[in-house]
Amino acid sequence: MRLLGVFNEDVNVSNASDFGINFGSMINEPFIIGSDARYGSLPMKLAVSSGLLSSGCNVADIGYVPAPVLARIARQERVWGISVSADPYPADYVGLRVYDPSGKPWDGKIEPNGRRGVGRLGDIDLVPNYMSELIAKYEIEPLSVVIDSANGPTGRIVPSILRSMGMQVMEMNSSLSPIPSRNYEPSYKNTRDLEFIVRKKRADVGIAFDGSGGKASFVIRTGHISAGRAMALLMKFGGYDRAVADFGATSLLDLVGVVERVPASEVKVAEKLHSKGFEIGGGTMGVAFSEWSYAPDALILSLELMNAASHQGETIESLNSQLPDNYEMAETVRVSDVSIVLDEFEKAYSSHELDLRDGVKILKEEGWIWLKPMKGMVRLAVESESKGVAKDLLDEGLKVINHFIK
C-alpha cells in the first residue's frame, strides 16, 4: 500500500498529487480510480486524479467501490487501477492500493520521467458489468443472509447481487459513512451484533465485511468463521487443494491441502500465486482468487463458500462442523515505536519456540500468539483449539504489549 498513514498528519493531498504526477509520468497509460467512505479518501482520490491528469494520463472515476471490484475491472479493461482505502487500519487512516492491468496488487519502484500533459477525466459506471458477470457466474441455492457492510462501499452492491441470485437479504450498516458503526476488522469481537441478528432471524449466514470489501468473516448460528477458516473450507470442499497462505493464517490450512507460506502482504501473496500458478491465497488480510484478479476479494470468498455448500448439498454450518475446532482472535494496538515493541516482545518470549519470518510468532503447545508490525500499530493475533485458551492468549499478549508502551 502507498502513502499509508493518518490523514493530514502522516499523509495529505499534496503527497497524493505528487504521487499521481510521478506515477502517471512513468506508466503513461489509462487509469481507473475509486475509493471507500473514509474522511480522507475523497480528497486523496481527487488529488491523485489531478496528478495523473497532469501527467497526461486519462482517468476514469468509478466512484465509491470496494477495492477488489476495482481490481477486477482493471483486469477486465486492461488498465491500471488505484483504490483509495486503508483497511485493516482505523477510520482516520488513508492509503492507496495500486493494481496493475492483471488485477495484481502492485508496490514497485516509481521512476518518474518528468512527462507532463493534459489527460481526460471520465465518469464511467463500470460496476453494473461487474455485477452482471458475478450473477451469471454462480448458481447457488437461495439462502437467508444478513450483510454487515461496516458503512463501506460493499453495502452499495452486495445486497443487490445476492437478491438478484434469489437470496433473502437483511442489511446492517449499509449506508456510506466515514464513521463506521463498528470497527472495520470483521473479527469475532466486532461481529457480536451480527451474531445476534443471525440468531434472532434464524438466518443461514451472516457476512461481515471490512471497510473496503477485501476481507470478510462469517457468522452461523453455531459460531464464527474467519476468512482463513473459510479458505480451509474451500480447500476441503470447494476443489482448491493448493493455496498460498500468510504466516498468520489458521493452522487448519495445513490439514486440508498443500500450503505455501509467505508474509502477510497482499503483494507477496499475489506474487506467489502468480509464480506457483495456485488459484487461492491469503488468510489474514482476506482471500484472493487468481482466476478473478489477484486482490483479496470478500464477495468472491462469500459466493465461493455458499457455492461449495450448495454443490455439496449441505449448509455452511454442516460443512464447518467437519473441520476441527479452532478459535482466532485479534486486536490492533497503536504504538509510538513499532520496532521497540517487537524487540521487547521477542525478548519476553525468548524461552519459547519462535517464528520470526513475519513479526514475532510464539508457538505454544496450546496455540500460538503472533505480533505483526503495521504502520504506527501492531496487530496481535492468536489461535487455539479452545475459545477460553484463545482469550487467555490474547489477554497475555496484550499485557506484554501494554507493559512496553506505558
Query: Which candidate, 281, 297, 283, places its Cα nearest to that of 225?
Result: 283
Whether the per-residue pLDDT at 198 is higher than 90: the answer is yes
Classify domain 138-244+298-320 by CATH number.
Answer: 3.40.120.10
The grid cell for 283 is 488468510
| CA R_g for the chain | 21
* CA distances to 65, 88, 185, 323 from 92, in Å: 19, 11, 14, 38
Question: DSSP code of 212?
Answer: S
Where are the domains positioned within the chain? 2-122, 138-244+298-320, 327-405
Predicted pLDDT of residue 175: 95
Whether the per-residue pLDDT at 115 is higher than 80: the answer is no
pLDDT digits (tens, 9 = 90+) for 25-58: 999 999 999 999 999 999 999 999 999 999 999 9
pLDDT digits (tens, 9 = 90+) for 320-376: 999 999 999 999 999 999 999 999 999 999 999 999 999 999 999 999 999 999 999
**Candidates 3.40.640.10, 3.40.50.300, 3.40.120.10, 3.30.70.380; CATH matching 2-122:** 3.40.120.10
The grid cell for 242 is 493448493
Tally of CB atoms within 10 A around 222 = 11
Asked if 291 and 238 touch (Cβ cutoff 8 Å), the reply is no
Mean pLDDT of the residues in the chain: 95
Asked if 185 and 332 touch (Cβ cutoff 8 Å), the reply is yes
Whether the per-residue pLDDT at 123 is higher than 90: the answer is no
Quick one: CATH architecture of 327-405? 2-Layer Sandwich (3.30)
Give me the percent of the chain exceeding a pLDDT of 90. Answer: 92
* CA distances to 121, 181, 246, 370, 379 from 264, in Å: 35, 27, 5, 11, 11
Give the confidence band of 124 by pLDDT, cuts at 50, 70, 90: confident
Asked if 302 and 286 touch (Cβ cutoff 8 Å), the reply is no
pLDDT digits (tens, 9 = 90+) for 67-91: 999 999 999 999 999 999 999 999 9
Identify residue 364 by its one-letter amino acid code: K
Q: Supply angle C-alpha 359, 362, 368, rounded to 5.
A: 110
- What does the CA dihedral 381, 84, 112, 58 come to, rounded to 10 degrees? 150
Whether the per-residue pLDDT at 156 is higher than 90: the answer is yes
Whether the per-residue pLDDT at 406 is higher than 70: the answer is no
Predicted pLDDT of residue 117: 84
Whether the per-residue pLDDT at 149 is higher than 80: the answer is yes
* CA distances to 331, 359, 367, 384, 393 from 363, in Å: 18, 13, 7, 11, 11
Whether 138-244+298-320 and 2-122 are alike in CATH topology: the answer is yes
The grid cell for 115 is 512527462
For 240-247, what is the mean pLDDT? 95
Predicted pLDDT of residue 286: 96
